[in-house]
Amino acid sequence: MTVQIFGKGKKVALQRRHARLRKKIVGTPERPRLVVTRSNRHMVAQIVDDTKGVTLVSESTLHNDFQGFEGTKTEAAKHVGELLAKKAQEAGITAVVFDRGGNKYTGRVAAVAEGAREGGLAL
């Protein structure tokens, strides 16, 4: 399946990068996909089994765990990765494939990956 995305701008470039990545990255039951979604204010990370199309574990800055969290957005993103890794290990997941969602691997996206690694997930 070929996805054609036309136009200019940051959003179109993001969609184009994400489509290019998703051709190669697939989550399996043994090694599910860690998807990172980034907005201006929040970070969302999910672990997805693509064979069933099911989200196994998710964590976000929107969850109640972050009520009263003090720190920068990058520190919050790293904390999301750590909490996600903790939940994943409780669910029996030790290794994942990292899907940056078309975002560049810098800043908050990289912080989620670092937090997940420090939490014990193999990326």
Instruction: Answer yes or no: is 3 within a domain.
Output: no
Instruction: Answer yes or no: is 13 within a domain.
Output: no
Model confidence, pTM: 0.86
Instruction: Answer yes or no: is 17 within a domain.
Output: no
For the chain, give the mean pLDDT.
92
**Which residues are CB-contacts of 96 (< 8 A; sequence separation ≥ 6)?**
27, 31, 32, 33, 34, 47, 88, 116, 121, 122, 123
Alpha-carbon distance 96 to 112, whole Å? 13
Number of domains in the chain: 1
What is the percent of the chain with per-residue pLDDT over 70, rounded to a whole number? 98
CATH number where 49 lies? 3.30.420.100
Given a cut of 70, is residue 33 above it in pLDDT? yes
- Mean of the pLDDT values across residues 14-22? 85
Q: Which domain holds residue 43?
A: 26-119
Instruction: Answer yes or no: is 69 within a domain.
Output: yes
pLDDT of residue 1: 57
